[in-house]
Structure 1
């Protein structure tokens, strides 16, 4: 009997060893450069009279409705909308039943000018004290032109609660952009992590800049009015246009897209953090000062120390400019931020970093370049089990088109890359595993093209293997007769 049990133990050990070897092999093969070439629609903006930008019916009806998380832990929401003719009602009526609104909240209203464009009346309302994992219905606008929507709050913060995020970047307002949104909405994801470059209105001039911000707000309403989009800013939000007398960066973006930055003691809406379900999400600004002792640097140093992996095991970072990119487009632009923050990402075991900016898709292996200091150390990225996976999702569909020139040969740090339009999803299963997909938008359908199982960095593979082995051996010994136990 004991001899048979010994054989069983050896077999278990062999299985564990095989798993380790296979894992090493899976991480050792060369990266893939997809040969797929996208030829669906031209990269031109949708005409303003298209139904994708339809103005809602009714006098002074609310439009450009969108929501985002309103606090640190997911019990608050910020609802934003625009009325064009007059301020109108600034009240949100909401409740847990459709058409029955037991609660009301009052928001604020503002407008602004950009060159000779005058915005509509921008309403923003913070609603707090919400219940977790609850569907809320809300109504905004005056009685005769009121509009109804709904949203679902996240589950209570818990290390093993499942949750599904979508990741979109560099969206714009072309037919390719519309394909991205519509295909994303089929995934069942519950929140969008947006990695910058929203409307591409800065591709226009003078009055048309504001007009294209309005059209984009109506364009994304089909999703953003019903689930939070977690915003980060890109270079197309800067809109530094001295020839038009506009020299204050991010003016349109900051007026229209609020963030819950005060809840994490950030000094700017451009960098902040939220906790949602089992994830801690940190948003950084690639176009704000980030070197040592700047406000963003000081804030991130404190925020990383606040992360509690026992409560939110998944640590996700959003930024616009990728730290690792093998495309000719924007090559090495993220190097300065990499030098400043990469060692922190490795030290705190960030799971995954999402970026945009490059209009193509690319995924890295777990690598770092933190040991090179000009005078010593290898100047090349090296495999690093503590490093995050870097993913560029700058392929939303904007009018600038795709970045189709990748470096040849493909660098060792690059696992998969393709110049095509698409979006990603990250489906968290529990504290140890998540499933990632990049979905190509091709020929009117969503095509899962790159996928893998993401292992949590904090509750990592070695920790799981030891626990698996310990539990299995305990089970084997427990089932042995007492006379045969060691």
Structure 2
């Protein structure tokens, strides 16, 4: 329907222009309605296993070690602070420690600045890691392309990255979302297709290398190969990391009983910037988005460190500055696949009411090796009344829940969706792919799920996401009123009655 503000504006136009305006507004409303509804209640019949779900052999050129003695490898970057003015650059030197410095500047080959990082290595069973370097570069300019160089002499390597725009409610930005990636040919297809989208930052929802499917020395070897595998993206685009179950790596038979050891040594996060006590849960602000990362495999019930931290972090969210509130986790809260069915239920009981109270826009998860999108639904009534029906109901304050555990790992696809499709499920398909979320302004973002199909990227599920905070009626009326006054102020006098 055309809102009251638009009707008033239309009255200032002559009869012909009034008719054209009304038709245009009605058409726009109809189109937005169609986009909003997406593919309602669809279980896609498309099932494709493009290549066998086996890891790419180590001798494949995709895992090639960079040429030159002690050349840096496994280069990747992530956000290094709360607001996007810093990056953490990580790399490995295999033969000796080498230089721990990063040279960087605004022109390729001309570096006006130098930062110095830290170095560590570790053992896992009888595997000994290379020398892992991590360097924080801070006090950067917003929306600026930086070039950086790491390594020594003739065997140094050069890369670049771009900082996000300044934190602002109308800053446009494009995220890629990947989960459960691994290192198969299907994984490679996902990476290459995501690069085609122009996504500026990757939101990763856990399960990186799947090295835990190997044993003994080979666990570390497959962490190394995966680091080289994702470098084509991760050395240039910040990846916002979250941990999955395949990062736990609890192996008593190998004498390895400290969870997340490989992951925590290799993939740092800026957790102190958001006052977190653990690198497994933290938050960053990037452009117009506030991104919260949770750990499905760390304690999260009442009064635990993660529960306490999230309670405080949600209070710090300022929707006037970062209108988009996004949550990343590994185990999905809503899932209609037989694989991992109901595994996220305990986290749902603890956190779902907070997601609704603070109007989280979207929750991304992985774990299930298929794609699924929900409507805005909640089950918090069941939590509050033991006699209530345990069925999700439509809830305008709830987030959209999206599972993207379809990156391409060797465990293969989760092919068994539950039948019938539950009412809360909008679209689901068992095939490989990744998602993009393109924020347009404070009120709208365009979402796509992209299927990997015969070497092509196919936009299969799309919808326009309406912001939870700026989309409520009171604020919409206020915004439309201000925009109406702005339009009227700029109308030629000849068009005003």
Unaligned stretches of 5+ residues in structure 2: 1-7
Counterparts in 2 of 1:267 and 1:396: CA distance versus 1, 3 Å: same
- Find the residue that maps to 2:381 and give its secondary structure: coil
Counterpart among 425, 428, 437 of residue 439 in structure 2: 428
Q: Does 1:468 align with 2:480?
A: yes
How far, CA to CA, are the matches of 2:347 and 2:253 in structure 1? 30
Q: How does 1:237-386 map to 2 (within 5 A)?
A: 237-372=247-382, 373-386=384-397
Q: CA deviation at 1:471?
A: 5.0
Counterparts in 2 of 1:376 and 1:29: CA distance versus 1, 3 Å: farther
Tell me which residue corresponds to 1:456.
467
Tell me which residue corresponds to 2:63.
53
Tell me which residue corresponds to 1:174.
184
Tell me which residue corresponds to 1:136.
146
Tell me which residue corresponds to 2:199.
189
Q: Does 1:93 align with 2:109?
A: no
Counterpart among 105, 117, 127 of residue 127 in structure 2: 117
Counterparts in 2 of 1:29 and 1:54: CA distance versus 1, 3 Å: closer
How far, CA to CA, are the matches of 2:179 and 2:491 in structure 1? 54
Counterparts in 2 of 1:468 and 1:56: CA distance versus 1, 3 Å: same
How far, CA to CA, are the matches of 1:437 and 1:172 in structure 2? 22
Q: CA deviation at 1:39?
A: 3.0
Tell me which residue corresponds to 1:103.
113
Tell me which residue corresponds to 2:73.
63
| TM-score, normalised relative to structure 1 | 0.94
Question: Given that residues 30 and 412 in structure 1 are in contact (C-alpha distance below 8 angstroms), is that contact kept between their aligned partners in structure 2?
Answer: no
Q: CA deviation at 1:395?
A: 0.2
Q: CA deviation at 1:45?
A: 0.1
How far, CA to CA, are the matches of 2:360 and 2:438 in structure 1? 17
How far, CA to CA, are the matches of 1:66 and 1:25 in structure 2? 36
- Residues 311-352 of structure 1: per-residue CA shift (max 9 Å, x gap): 000000000000000000000000000000000000000000
Tell me which residue corresponds to 1:44.
54
Q: CA deviation at 1:227?
A: 1.1
Question: Given that residues 194 and 434 in structure 2 are in contact (C-alpha distance below 8 angstroms), is that contact kept between their aligned partners in structure 1?
Answer: yes
- Find the residue that maps to 1:249 and give its secondary structure: coil
Q: CA deviation at 1:309?
A: 0.4
Question: Given that residues 39 and 461 in structure 2 are in contact (C-alpha distance below 8 angstroms), is that contact kept between their aligned partners in structure 1?
Answer: no
How far, CA to CA, are the matches of 1:290 and 1:70 in structure 2? 25
How far, CA to CA, are the matches of 1:64 and 1:114 in structure 2? 18
Counterpart among 164, 170, 185 of residue 174 in structure 2: 164
